[in-house]
Amino acid sequence: MKNTSLKNSLTAIAFFIAIAVFSQNKSQNTLPLDVFYSKIQAEKNPQIIDARGPEEFALNHLLGAVNFNLESKDYAEKIAKLDKNRPVFTYSIGAGRSVWLAEDLLKKGFKEAYSLEGGIANWIGNGKPFFANSKSKLTLAEYNKIISDNKTVLVDIGSVYCGACKKVKPVLETIKAQYGSNLKIVEIDLEDNTQVIADLKTIKVFPTLILYQNGKIILKKEGFENLKNEIDVALASK
């Protein structure tokens, strides 16, 4: 009985140590935008990997990035072309595929591998340089006019490739049904409006919801949880 208890205790201790190590590695290797950007700037020819799918990469990406992830058929061939002694910078739509990729590179002997906190949403959303294969359908001037011409506006900023962004859509339908013409809802996707998202210089993650009233922001929310309740509370207090 004592041996069993001791074994269970040791197992529990090992489990918590593993969690602590994982959390520490994640915090060390997932960098905030300013640090990530500074490290890239310090490299003559930075090794940047876009860990999204090829369709996403074709629409927009960081300048100088190459595209592959853990599921790519030529993954081994791709990483063989990288210099293990130089840092590698990874990013995705948020911080999922890029985190896994950075961790795998470290396991394979790379000295430094970093993922970008907030992913490409954070990069483009704060005006860092990028490539886009088309112009935004909406300009910043047009965006500002929508805000000024309508008393109450809810802006949904995200991406068609963002899982959490898809969960916002039914919530928006419920909000639209409740408020009708009293609330204008504007949906802005990265794929169609890359430049206006960059020009706003205020987006860190997808989705981001911004509620305006009389031209002023009364609520800015990252994520979709409790969205309707927070909208209701914000509008009721005005």
**Which residue in 219, 158, 159, 207 sits closest to 183, CA to CA?**
219
Decide if 99 contacts 38 (C-beta within 8 A): no
Beta strands in the chain (DSSP E): 30-31, 47-50, 60-62, 66-67, 88-91, 113-116, 130-132, 152-158, 184-189, 208-213, 216-222
The residues near 232 (Cβ < 8 Å, ≥ 6 apart) are: none
Q: Any catalytic annotation for residue 165?
A: yes
CA atoms within 13 A on the CB side of 226: 7
Which of these is catalytic: 95, 105, 113, 165? 165
Q: Which of 162, 205, 211, 227 is catalytic?
A: 162
Q: Is 125 helix (H, G, I), strand (E, B) or coil?
A: coil
Catalytic site positions: 162, 165
